[in-house]
Amino acid sequence: MGKKYVKIISWNVNGLRAVLKKAFHGTVETLDPDILLLQETKLQAHQRTKEMQPFMDYHDYWAYSTVKKGYSGVAAYTRPLPESVKTGMGIPRYDTEGRILELDYEDFILFNVYFPNGQMSDERLQYKMDFYADFFAHAQSLRDSGKSLIITGDFNIAHNEIDLKNPGPNSKRSGFLPSERKLIDDIIAHGYVDTFRFLHPDAVEYSWWSYRFNARKNNAGWRIDYFFVTQDIIDKGWLKTAFIGGDVLGSDHCPVGITLEM
């Protein structure tokens, strides 16, 4: 039996309607992922247009915010048909914001997650911390049943100083707070691997730039979009590449990706 190759790309598009006006289909055709995961689609179901329907040979799956219009939302375009797809994690407090798709494939479970941003208020920062705790408890229950996991999306946290241009001035800002950075420490301590950092330990590359202050032109960015995989995926030698598509425009984030060989 031949080996399977899978290219997975994650991209916070900061509004799918907006990025569709910026050569989205051509970008996807060039990137040519087997599975494309989008965050921050900012859509309700009735706002999906013909341009958003399955294109090329993809199947599509969606999760929407039901608490606020034009907010949050995630989507998946996938060539391989998943065995099952779930939205959320079974906790209404989080699931109404449309932040999670769980796609169960034969070899792994793939999560597309738009983790909350904690900058708005202390309450939203606590919501973000709670979301992390409850999501990874949910993920652990799947690991305990013997599943291999891939978790990708916008984590809204830069882990270490190498992961953002100006760590000092941002050390008291949500996204680089010590308490948030510890969340990533804990994820790694529990047997998840940051694929990009695993393969590129010293690379300085970013996945998000503010629209202000010419940040992208000056490459004053943050690496806050990740692919984490369970250690068994590394041990089996499935991970072949991890990359950041910093030259891909259309959003304030750029795509990140991995390739697997199984």
| Known binding-site positions for Mg(2+) | 12, 40, 154, 156, 252-253
Where are the strands (E) in 40-142, listed by range?
Answer: 59-63, 74-78, 84-87, 100-104, 109-114
Residue 1 predicted with pLDDT over 90: no
Please state the length of the chain. Answer: 262
253 flagged as catalytic: yes
Q: Quote the DSSP letter at residue 235.
A: H
| Known binding-site positions | 12, 40, 154, 156, 252-253
| Active-site residue, from 34, 154, 163, 225 | 154
Q: Over the stretch 2-29, which tens digit does the pLDDT of each residue have?
A: 789 999 999 999 999 999 999 999 999 9
163 flagged as catalytic: no
**Helix intervals (H) in 88-230:** 92-95, 122-144, 178-189, 195-199
DSSP SS3 for 172: coil
- Residue 106 CB neighbour total at 10 angstroms: 9
Residue 60 predicted with pLDDT over 90: yes
CB 58 within 8 A of CB 25: no
pTM: predicted TM-score of the whole model, two decimal places: 0.97
The C-alpha torsion from 142 through 228 and 10 to 31, rounded to 10°, is -120
Nearest to 145 by CA among 234, 253, 57, 230: 230
235 flagged as catalytic: no
Domains of the chain are 5-261 (3.60.10.10)
Residue type for position 209: W
Q: Over the stretch 161-216, which tens digit does the pLDDT of each residue have?
A: 999 999 999 999 999 999 999 999 999 999 999 999 999 999 999 999 999 999 99
Nearest to 205 by CA among 167, 250, 243, 252: 243
Q: Which residues pair with 37 in a beta bridge?
A: 10, 76
| Active-site residue, from 61, 64, 94, 114 | 114
